[in-house]
């Protein structure tokens, strides 16, 4: 569909069509935001329960402990602990990060930033959200089955996830929920890819797109290719659990000629390593744009950044084996995967230094979106460096399945993506809802989050290096881990501090919606297309389809009119 075929749709008149079963990409983006924040709260509470059990083994969980676990006097029991870390990981990755970073910002930002009036397939867009809701409902229902929810880890490796390791219905519902969510995300991915290719405003080449769109578009490509792989694995696991097949049943090869639990690990990580980049590419794109906007200068090496993200996208499909160095993989394969893993650090380093080049000698404005973007630069640097030890065979053999992996993963994923998500929410809040969030409260939220977050994840790196295994209900039965008790206690108090900091965000967000200061049309003085229209955006986005005449980062040009240091993408490029 070319740009001139985009019609102005009549605004919906009924409540259901306007707010519930809406075809408007902006409303669907907001729905994904509410959905993600809801599950972020659930996953966060589960994280605090996990940390309490590790720091204070045998001590009743405060406030709700006696209500939730009356049979143990409020103490979190071992089987519940396994369920908690399984569902915490599942919820945070698939039901919090994915809806906020991909569902919300993908839906809301892509059409506005490329000058389109809506997504290419509005009906499929609406369906993708409600299928995601169905998936979330199935996952939550699994908690109320007789034997509780899934407890085999967020990766759900067989044999832990087969009927032998998890006899209850909860694991089956977990697998079904992930399969359904995969259908939703695949529909969204196809929509994003098609929209970017076919509905860009006239004059907008690929390198004229904001880097936010690049990140979301590359994420959609990975989703479309690799989510069906995970879906196939989940489907086979459901067959094993429900219909008595034995695709992943250990020992089946001795009797029937097939069946291998390691096969599921291959299937999972063929999707699972691209999934790391599926989640973080949108955050990279958002941060790359915001660093430029709030440094008031063009993004350093913007084309190189886009090409680096593209290179990482391609290489991410070839490195999954570094998650499986301890599965008796052939040494020839381990060397190949290690080399490819080291290779992917090259384009990562390029765009990381481009971030530093963007900040360097900029006229930095320390508004809340910029603070959270700078936070991403810091935590991703730590996450990336610690990943080198896990991509190297010799060090991974020692560190694998310790809390070092948990710390690395959370620095790279949880910290980077969480901070990037907050940066995006604070930045696009005026465009989404037409109001500004309170900057003072936002900065308190940032500093408390940063302090708590680094206390948690840096502590995990220390205890992991000390040999503390992940998934242990009470690691302090082991004498050699006794000295790590103070660090674990510190991690837990840091997690409580981080959780406390999120109340500032919730208050700020809700207060802004109810009584927030009305936003100007372009409060951040940015030239990308979404800021050329009123805030909040009208239902049709653009009355006239814009014509793009320059890139998204034209800032600080001395030839610009007096009193303005940015240039709209619809203006002819001014030569300095």
Neighbours of 182 (CB within 10 A): 25
545 within a domain of the structure (yes/no)? no
- Taking the C-alpha atoms of 107, 112, 113 and 118 in order, what is their torsion angle to the nearest 10 degrees? 60
Q: What angle do CA 135, 139, 142 make, to 5 degrees?
A: 140
Residue 241 confidence (pLDDT): 93
Helices 261-295 and 211-242 pack at an angle, to 10 degrees, of 160
Residue 7 confidence (pLDDT): 66
Q: Residue 436 corresponds to which tokens in the numbers above? A: 């500004």
Q: How many structural domains does the chain have?
A: 1
Q: How many CA atoms lie within 13 A of 533 on its CB side?
A: 22
Three-state helix/strand/coil letters over 298-322: CCCCHHHHHHHHHHHHHHHHHCHHH
Residue 3 confidence (pLDDT): 44
In terms of Cα–Cα distance, which of 226, 196, 230, 205 is closest to 110?
196
CA distance 140 to 363: 47
Residue 340 confidence (pLDDT): 92
- pTM as predicted: 0.94
DSSP 3-state percent helix, strand, coil across the chain (nearest 5): 70, 0, 30
193 within a domain of the structure (yes/no)? yes
Q: Do 555 and 289 touch, CB atoms closer than 8 A?
A: no
In terms of Cα–Cα distance, which of 212, 298, 293 is closest to 526?
293
Name beta bridge partners: 518: 435
CA distance 479 to 318: 40
79 within a domain of the structure (yes/no)? yes
575 within a domain of the structure (yes/no)? no
160 within a domain of the structure (yes/no)? yes
* Residues in contact with 415: Cβ distance below 8 Å, sequence separation at least 6, in sequence order: 375, 376, 379, 380, 383, 453, 457
* Residues in contact with 33: Cβ distance below 8 Å, sequence separation at least 6, in sequence order: 99, 100, 103, 104, 425, 432
Q: Do 312 and 348 touch, CB atoms closer than 8 A?
A: yes
Structural domain containing residue 80: 25-532
In terms of Cα–Cα distance, which of 220, 275, 269 is closest to 413?
275
494 within a domain of the structure (yes/no)? yes
Q: Do 45 and 64 touch, CB atoms closer than 8 A?
A: no
14 within a domain of the structure (yes/no)? no
One digit per residue, pLDDT tens: the chain, 576 residues?
444 467 677 788 888 888 899 999 999 999 999 999 999 999 999 999 999 999 998 899 998 888 888 888 999 999 999 999 999 999 999 999 999 999 999 999 999 999 999 999 999 999 999 999 999 999 999 999 998 999 999 999 998 998 988 998 999 999 999 999 999 999 999 999 999 999 999 999 999 999 999 999 999 999 999 999 999 999 999 999 999 888 888 765 556 667 888 999 999 999 999 988 989 999 999 999 999 999 999 999 999 999 999 999 999 999 999 999 988 888 888 999 999 999 999 999 998 999 999 999 999 999 999 999 999 999 999 988 999 999 999 999 999 999 999 999 999 888 999 999 999 999 999 999 999 999 999 999 999 999 999 999 999 999 999 999 988 898 888 898 999 999 999 999 999 999 999 999 999 999 999 998 999 999 999 999 999 999 999 988 998 899 999 999 999 888 888 778 899 999 887 676
Q: Which CATH number covers residue 422?
A: 1.20.210.10
548 within a domain of the structure (yes/no)? no
SS3 156: coil
**What is the full DSSP assignment across 249-273?**
-TTTHHHHS---HHHHHHHHHHHHH
Query: pLDDT tens, 224-251?
Result: 999 999 999 999 999 999 998 888 887 6
Name beta bridge partners: 555: 566
CA distance 432 to 509: 12
């Amino acid at each position: 569909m070319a740009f001139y075929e985009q019609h102005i749709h009549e605004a919906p008149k009924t409540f259901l069509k306007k707010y519930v079963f809406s075809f408007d990409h902006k409303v669907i983006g907001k729905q994904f935001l509410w959905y993600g924040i809801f599950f972020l709260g659930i996953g966060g509470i589960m994280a605090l329960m996990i940390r309490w059990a590790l720091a204070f083994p045998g001590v009743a969980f405060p406030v709700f402990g006696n209500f939730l676990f009356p049979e143990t006097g409020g103490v979190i029991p071992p089987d519940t602990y396994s369920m908690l870390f399984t569902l915490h990981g599942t919820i945070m990755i698939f039901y919090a990060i994915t809806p906020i970073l991909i569902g919300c910002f993908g839906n809301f930002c892509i059409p506005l930033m490329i000058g389109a009036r809506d997504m290419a397939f509005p009906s499929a867009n609406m369906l993708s959200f409600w299928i995601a809701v169905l998936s979330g409902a199935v996952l939550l229902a699994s908690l109320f089955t007789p034997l509780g929810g899934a407890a085999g880890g967020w990766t759900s490796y067989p044999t832990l996830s087969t009927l032998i390791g998890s006899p209850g219905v909860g694991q089956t519902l977990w697998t079904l929920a992930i399969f359904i969510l995969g259908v939703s995300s695949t529909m969204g991915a196809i929509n994003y890819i098609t929209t970017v290719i076919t509905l860009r405003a006239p004059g907008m080449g690929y390198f004229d797109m904001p880097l936010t769109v690049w990140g979301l578009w590359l994420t959609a490509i990975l989703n479309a290719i690799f989510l069906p792989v995970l879906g196939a694995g989940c489907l086979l696991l459901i067959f094993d659990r429900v219909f008595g097949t034995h695709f992943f049943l250990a020992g089946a090869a001795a009797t029937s000629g097939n069946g291998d639990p390691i096969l599921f690990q291959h299937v999972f990580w063929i999707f699972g390593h691209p999934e790391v980049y599926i989640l973080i590419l949108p955050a990279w794109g958002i941060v790359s744009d915001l660093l430029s906007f709030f440094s008031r200068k063009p993004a350093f090496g913007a084309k190189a950044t886009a090409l680096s993200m593209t290179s990482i996208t391609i290489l991410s499909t070839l490195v999954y084996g570094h998650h499986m160095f301890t599965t008796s993989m052939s040494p020839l394969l381990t060397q190949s995967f290690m080399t490819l893993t080291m290779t992917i650090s090259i384009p990562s380093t390029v765009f990381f230094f481009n971030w530093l080049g963007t900040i360097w000698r900029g006229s930095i404005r320390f508004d809340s979106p910029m603070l959270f973007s700078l936070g991403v630069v810091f935590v991703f640097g730590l996450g990336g460096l610690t990943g080198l030890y896990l991509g190297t065979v010799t060090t991974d053999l020692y560190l694998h399945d310790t809390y070092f992996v948990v710390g690395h993963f959370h620095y790279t994923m949880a910290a980077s993506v969480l901070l990037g998500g907050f940066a995006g929410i604070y930045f696009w809040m005026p465009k989404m809802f037409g109001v500004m969030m309170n900057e003072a409260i936002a900065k308190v939220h940032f500093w408390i989050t940063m302090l708590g977050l680094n206390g948690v994840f840096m502590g995990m790196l220390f205890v992991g290096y000390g040999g503390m295994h992940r998934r242990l209900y009470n690691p302090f039965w082991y004498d050699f881990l006794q000295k790590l008790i103070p660090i674990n206690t510190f991690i837990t108090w840091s997690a409580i501090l981080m959780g406390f900091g999120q109340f500032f965000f919730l208050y700020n967000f809700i207060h802004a919606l109810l009584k927030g200061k009305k936003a100007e049309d372009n409060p951040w003085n940015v030239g990308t297309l979404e800021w050329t229209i009123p805030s909040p955006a009208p239902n049709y986005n653009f009355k006239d389809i814009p014509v793009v005449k320059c890139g998204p980062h034209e800032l600080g040009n001395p030839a610009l009119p007096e009193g303005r240091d940015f240039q709209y993408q619809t203006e002819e490029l001014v030569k300095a």
